[in-house]
Structure 1
């Protein structure tokens, strides 16, 4: 791949999902990497949440609504989140060992970066997840539950992971909470009761909450970009339409 400067795309959730779909329609011959943040809040529903999406669309929406092709619960995106999208060929060495193992390197890598920043984060092993207590009332929300190799701080989720496997390639994604999310907006969009908002706040955390202020998204993205390209052994091609970088508001 051609070497390029790290680039952080500021996008809508719809634009991000379109990029995923476009790249998976053809055979993935080499790794592709993108780092994203969002110009405005949005809710990204899992592939099995069509009914929830339709219900949300039937009410006045305060944010963008979109559905992704991967599973899991609804994700609240926004300026508080830094996301990564990694496309790999189906036979890539990082995918050896099965679906769950494919996440391990990514969760461990992001947890290490967070620790370097002073956030006491670690990636959850499958045994850790089995020993945790789930809140069934939050099954609709991605950040309401825990999966293997997702990242927590004191048991509270700070990084979510997702995976989509297609014949042409595999997509690994992550979302890191740099600043406090607007859980009230998510619950209002899905018409969830007030206790769900409180439960989400209890079960999640952010760099802002741990450190006292949110890190600059550019700084976090640059460090993460370097670590990812070191692991992948390649540099991403330049964005065809580079978008301006953006800072997370404290």
Structure 2
């Protein structure tokens, strides 16, 4: 799998199409030039609180894959996309099973850095705030540690292939993303209480995890 390092605008990165003439699978290692609130494909821009994001200096963009909002900070998160053409042996017509191999690659990388995890092989497990915040729910192929999400994976499929978008954090604090969303105070408090135990970060092993998963995907 070919490794492509991409730096720059988050908006430009998420606007990249799946190449129609892609001959082999690619790993897009993305380094954003600023913090960003990335909304899911079905979330309106009004999901974000315009005052809060302006004060925080956070760019708001929408990705083309589904799911809820995520906060991307180049200092505290990893964002890696994997693009697979339909001719690739890893392609699957089964949308749910199509993510398993990728979750397994992340699982092996996490084992390399000393974190034991499991790949979720069931269907979508919704939660009260899972449609609003990505790490609030659990989807096929995502990676968990003692039931708490460690790696989020979403996907977009076209005639050319699939684009899998992956993110992991050094720590999980739901208020990081909730404070940027347009929510009544009561909902914000309820969401923070519910989401606190649904995910977990990898601590000071984030850089090692980046290297390990890139090795797993490109070796």
TM-score by length of 2: 0.84
State how far apart, in whole Å, the 2-side matches of 1:14 and 1:120 are. 34
1:155-205 CA-to-partner distances (Å, cap 9, x unmatched) read: 11110001111112221121122x124532311211331231232221110
Aligned 1:85-96 pairs, distance under 5 A: 85-96=81-92
- Show the counterpart of 1:115: 111
State how far apart, in whole Å, the 1-side matches of 2:113 and 2:47 are. 40
TM-score by length of 1: 0.75
Alpha-carbon RMSD across the aligned residues, in angstroms, is: 2.4
Q: 1:153 to 1:34 in 2, by over 3 A?
A: same
- Show the counterpart of 1:224: 213
| Counterpart check, 1:140 vs 2:127 | no
Secondary structure of the structure 2 residue equivalent to 1:28? coil
Number of aligned residues: 211
Aligned 1:36-115 pairs, distance under 5 A: 36-50=30-44, 53-56=45-48, 58-61=50-53, 62=56, 63-78=58-73, 79-115=75-111
Deviation at 1:137, TM superposition (A): 3.2
Structure 1 unaligned runs (5+)?
209-213, 231-250
| Counterpart check, 1:180 vs 2:171 | yes
> Which is bigger in relative contact order (C-alpha 8 A, separation at least 6)?
1
| Counterpart check, 1:215 vs 2:187 | no
State how far apart, in whole Å, the 2-side matches of 1:7 and 1:28 are. 13
The structure where strand makes up a greater share of residues is: 2
The structure where helix makes up a greater share of residues is: 1
- Show the counterpart of 1:26: 20
Structure 2 unaligned runs (5+)?
none
State how far apart, in whole Å, the 2-side matches of 1:69 and 1:113 are. 26
2:180 corresponds to which of 175, 186, 189? 189
